Amino acid sequence: MSFTFSYFGHSTFGLDIEGTQILVDPYFSDNPLTDQSAGEIKADFILITHGHGDHVGDSVSIARRTGAKVIANFEVANWVSEQGVEVHPQHIGGGFHHPFGYVKMTQAVHGSSLPDGSYGGMPGGFLITTPQGEIIYLSGDTGLFSGMSLIGEEDVYVAALPIGDNFTMGPDDALRAVKMLKPEIVIPTHYNTWELISQDPEAWKDRVEAKTGTQVRILKPDQSMQF
């Protein structure tokens, strides 16, 4: 086993990669699905996919408390940096060897304005390669895009994809995404946070497993899974 994946509901994840704690889009205070507190969660690194409030979330307060370094696109990184947080800016298509693994930013078809209206650059996702060589794809908020088939050439082990519809891919397009990405395992995200994005993940699991070779793992909020 090489990493632990935690789901805190919505699009908030925790990765424990060989003892390094990585939070992704840490949305705790206003997230109705999690009981975790932004004031207690551990973090060594925080990854932010885009500038929307349900993804930047509690990044600044958690980074200030823990000293975690924020990895995000250049514009979001600058915005966070101005609030006294250590950052590592990257951008779409660029990767960097961080202490816990190689992180490449991927495209996403979405928006990225920051909570105060500042320009948040392009939205993105993350392709993380662990020291053991497992590849984790966190798409971020996105519609379906054909470039997912290029990401599918990268031997993705675990993918986390939105299924909520309305703001992101819904179940039909998320199934098409699985066909392009061909991950061993997919975790559905960005659903049932609000009525507007309510979905049945069990129904989606049945469809994906009937039509692809990918296994679906449905994590309850605040549930962790070891890989």
Binding interface with Ni ion (CB under 5 A):
52, 141
Distance CA 161, CA 51 (A): 18
Among Mn ion, Ni ion, none, what binds residue 25 when CB lies within 5 to 8 Å by partner kind? none
Stretch 26-65: interaction string toward Mn ion, x if CB under 5 A:
----------------------------x-----------
17-36 residues labelled b (16+ CB within 10 A) or e (exposed): beebbbbbbbbbeebebbeb
| Residue 165 in contact with Mn ion, rule: CB under 5 A | no
For Mn ion, the closer of residues 31 and 214 by Cβ is 31
Least separation in angstroms between CB 86 and Ni ion:
24
Least separation in angstroms between CB 12 and Ni ion:
13
Angle made by CA atoms 15, 89, 26, in degrees to the nearest 5: 35
Taking a C-beta distance cutoff of 8 angstroms, is the pair 51, 115 a contact?
A: yes
Distance CA 90, CA 83 (A): 18
List 58, 134, 141, 165, residue binding Mn ion (CB under 5 A): 141
Residues lying near Mn ion in the complex (CB under 5 A) are found at 54, 141
